[in-house]
Structure 1
Amino acid sequence: MQINRLFEIIYILLSKRTITARALAERFEVSVRTIYRDIDILSSAGIPIYASQGKGGGISLLEDYVLDKSVLSEREQNEILYALQSLSITQAPETDMVLAKLSTLFNKKRINWIEVDFSPWGSEKKRACQFTMIKEAILSRRIIEFNYFSSSGEKSIRKVEPQKLVFKVNAWYLQAFCLTRNTYRTFKITRMSDILMTPAPFSKRNFEGLKENNQTQKTQIDICLNISAEGAYRVYDEFDEEDITKNKDGSYTVNASMPGGEWIYNYLFSYGPLLEVIEPLDMRLEMKNRIEAMMNKY
């Protein structure tokens, strides 16, 4: 508690420059004598803090004081602030507060190098609540329950031990031990609803089991695609430059390795008539069969 109070006193002094011992005592609900003991501790630690008498007097720091550079270099200070700023993708409400405090401690007036928002339009409040709840469940090791929709649209109620939040290929996922299925699973956040953090705690498991489970799910398929010139806006967004060959007619040939699974057909069909699967042959035939099945509906 005292360490937190000392840190807060430094932050206040850097923000306001001068404050009375009585005001600090009232803020932290301690005696004035305790505040003066804190000031002695800070002074003995080499922080240039002093008290002045008279009107406008109080406890102050020397002008232009910055957190000792011997503790953190200029580059290390910036790296910490940049890392915190990049956490805005999770929309965690406490991130801005911590960033503001450290910016003041490091005497950095303008730190604004990145802004990332992966949430769908209009869902910021809901997504922030989801992240906050899941994060708290992970850190406090509390079981969560939620409704989950599979890729085929099947709804199920899941009870899981949350382990880790992962951002992969334009989507957020939760890695967890599923108590409903008694195995490790990866859940897509957008398919989770009615998330509830229960009071039930859980013990730490061997996380290697989750890594092994993920490896078995990532069977890679080598594919060759032909994408027409009208699809250029997606080609360079979604494939590595070294996998792309631009043809004389303006179309593109893409040779890439992609994870297998039902999702890949939905992804390829999202190109509509702009895409043709060249290889592998069995995938090309499967695409043809699915197109015929769709045609039969009309």
Structure 2
Amino acid sequence: MKLERLISMVYMLLNNEILSASELADKYGVSQRTIYRDIETICAAGIPVVSYQGANGGYGIMEEYKMDRSLLGSYDVGSLVTLLQSMSSVFQDERASETIRRLQTIQGGQKSSSLNMDIGSRPFYRKSLQLLRDAINERKVIRFLYVNAKNERLEREVEPVQLLYRYDAWYLFGYCREREDYREFRLSRMTDLKALGLHFTANHKTREELPRPEAMPDRKTITVVLRISASSLARALDQLHIAEKQFHEDGRATLRFEVDERSLTNWLPAIILSLGEDAEVLEPPALREHLTAKLTSMLAVYSKR
């Protein structure tokens, strides 16, 4: 603990002009006498700490000793700080905060970064993300109930390996004991998540280290054409941004894009139905027929008394 405090103090001093003993004592939850001893230890290690007297006095490090800011460009430092700040907000990670302070020692008085990130730090995910990361670091088996692609709710015991963030969602990559193989689990489908007292010893490979699966054979692609009204244009573009867009004078737009055949009955109908009467399928006929059948089934549900 003392070594970690000493290392942290060095970076605090590098990142600030002058820090008083009382500020450092409050920061690390120790007495000022302990801080004095720590300063002596840092000096003995060859780091030139300077003592400043007076009302605004304290401790600092000789300017000549501070890290050369040319080692990293301003873009590099700013991007790293932004990414780490986002990670720190998700996991409330003091280690990430400490790394930010270290990087800021070479950032100097540079202007604020032009980049701002928020990688899915929704409050209702934070507790689960912290539990999963702790389980990964401590090599603990986890258990949870999971809704799979077949809408089955099954219990799973997993040896967690990695947290993945992609397509605006968090995933856990790990070794599933039931399947005896590696699997990905979407965080939003997990419930009753808990870390067990059981530790695993296997040295699992990360997702990137495992052999890539063989490429799936090319599937037939279908061209989809939608007409979107002006009142739902923004929502449609948020979800179908890959589409070729043709805007009309009346505020409507025609969206054209290609999908594989499975998408016509998989994810695409849900997006179109979410737009209600503001979306009309112009092509293909098969998608129109599928939506008609879907709407008929929905009407039957609401017509029951």
Q: TM-score range by the shorter chain?
A: 0.7 to 0.9
Q: 1:17 aligns with which of 10, 16, 19?
A: 19
CA distance in 1, matches of 2:232, 2:161: 38
Query: Aligned residue for 1:296?
Result: 300
Query: Aligned residue for 1:78?
Result: 78
Deviation sequence 1:200-245 (CA, Å, 0-9, x none): 22421363558538x6599785441313223212232223376222
| Residues 1:144 and 1:110: Cα distance change in structure 2 (over 3 Å) | farther
**Does residue 1:234 correspond to 2:238, yes or no?**
no
Q: 2:289 aligns with which of 270, 285, 289?
A: 285
Q: For 1:205, what is the secondary structure of its paired residue?
A: coil
Q: For 1:67, what is the secondary structure of its paired residue?
A: coil
| Residues 1:86 and 1:67: Cα distance change in structure 2 (over 3 Å) | same
Decide which moves more: 162-171 or 187-196. 162-171
Query: Aligned residue for 1:138?
Result: 136
Q: Alpha-carbon deviation of 1:2?
A: 7.9
Q: For 1:276, what is the secondary structure of its paired residue?
A: strand
For 1:189, the aligned partner's letter is: L
Q: Tell me, which stretches of 5 or more residues in structure 1 are unaligned?
A: none
**Does residue 1:114 correspond to 2:112, yes or no?**
no
Matches within 5 A, 1:63-212: 66-87=66-87, 91-94=90-93, 97-98=97-98, 101-102=101-102, 105-106=105-106, 107=108, 114=116, 116=118, 118=120, 124=123, 126-150=124-148, 153-198=151-196, 199-201=198-200, 202-205=202-205, 207=207, 209=210, 212=213
- Corresponding pairs, count: 286
Q: Alpha-carbon deviation of 1:4?
A: 3.7
Deviation sequence 1:113-138 (CA, Å, 0-9, x none): 52527455xxx1x4211111112223
CA distance in 2, matches of 1:116, 1:293: 39
For 2:164, the aligned partner's letter is: V
Structure 1's consecutive aligned runs of 4 or more residues displaced over 6 angstroms after TM superposition are: 23-31, 52-58, 217-220
Query: Do the aligned residues in 2 keep the contact of 1:92 with 1:128 (CA within 8 Å)?
Result: yes
For 1:81, the aligned partner's letter is: V
Q: For 1:10, what is the secondary structure of its paired residue?
A: helix
Q: Alpha-carbon deviation of 1:56?
A: 9.2
Query: Aligned residue for 2:224?
Result: 224
Query: Do the aligned residues in 2 keep the contact of 1:220 with 1:257 (CA within 8 Å)?
Result: no
Decide which moves more: 1-10 or 175-184. 1-10
Q: Alpha-carbon deviation of 1:258?
A: 4.5
Query: Aligned residue for 1:276?
Result: 280
TM, length-normalised to structure 1: 0.73
Q: Tell me, which stretches of 5 or more residues in structure 2 are unaligned?
A: none
TM, length-normalised to structure 2: 0.72
Query: Do the aligned residues in 2 keep the contact of 1:227 with 1:276 (CA within 8 Å)?
Result: yes
Query: Do the aligned residues in 1 keep the contact of 2:172 with 2:185 (CA within 8 Å)?
Result: yes
CA distance in 2, matches of 1:258, 1:157: 33
Query: Do the aligned residues in 2 keep the contact of 1:177 with 1:185 (CA within 8 Å)?
Result: yes
CA distance in 2, matches of 1:10, 1:118: 33
